[in-house]
Amino acid sequence: MAAKKGKGWRSGRREGRSRMVQMTRHLVVSEGKETEPRYFEGVRAALGAANGRKVAIVVKGTGKHTLDLLDFAVEHCRYAPETFDHVWLVFDKDDFPAADFDAMERKCAELSDGSRTFHALWSNPCFELWPLLHLRYTTAPMTAAECQRALAQAMSKDLGVEYRKNLGGLFGMVDGQRAEALQRATRLAAHHGGLGNIKPSAQNPATKVGEIFDVIGPYLVAE
């Protein structure tokens, strides 16, 4: 990977920012080009006018996978006219090599330098597990196709909505149950911990997508 922390990296801080209200800038880079960007555009829209002056979110859907996704994010940070305090990498296990999938958390930690933090928001098997956890809790291992079917069934039954990959408004449809989703994601992590499943590739089902709300959740209008 060509990126290095030193002079090639921007500091992630802007001179002249107000000491009263400090803007934090977030880059969300997703593997998917449809579901994930639409979801996070919904998050951005939910900030509202006042909070939108405190938190800025840029969403990029790339179609790139695991380590290529990280390379894309690093290059975007290097050349973008704005600076970013947080970079959130949204990616799935699917059928990609376990070694690459598991390496992402370590590489994100290596790139985080105190002025900019990289976050690995992985899902195993796929992103659809995160909205599914708003509606259901399950510990049953599943493929990406099975997870998508489970989400479609839950949304049809609970919300009267037909789920599809390019569905708009997904964030708003499920966000009322975000607290339940966060609790269920934590339960899943504890479940895998009890089984000794340490590596992300061994944790099916599990997701870390909810961790972004630890940072931006208080700024959302629905909070």
Selection from 216, 185, 222 nearest residue 24 by Cα: 216
CB 99 within 8 A of CB 122: no
pLDDT in tens, 88-134: 999 999 878 899 999 999 999 999 998 899 999 999 999 999 999 99
Question: Does the residue 9 lie in any domain?
Answer: no
4 is a domain residue: no
Q: How many domains does the chain have?
A: 1
Q: Which of 47, 50, 73, 45 is nearest to 60 (CA)?
A: 73
Per-residue model confidence (pLDDT) at position 96: 81
Judge whether residue 21 has pLDDT over 80.
no
What backbone phi and psi angles, to 5 degrees, belong to 101? -60, -45
Of residues 65 and 167, more confidence is placed in 167
Residue 10 within a domain: no
Helix (H) or strand (E) holding 58: strand 55-61
- Domain of residue 207 covers 24-219
Q: What is the pLDDT of residue 2?
A: 42
Average pLDDT, the chain: 87
Mean pLDDT of 191-209: 97
This prediction's pTM: 0.86
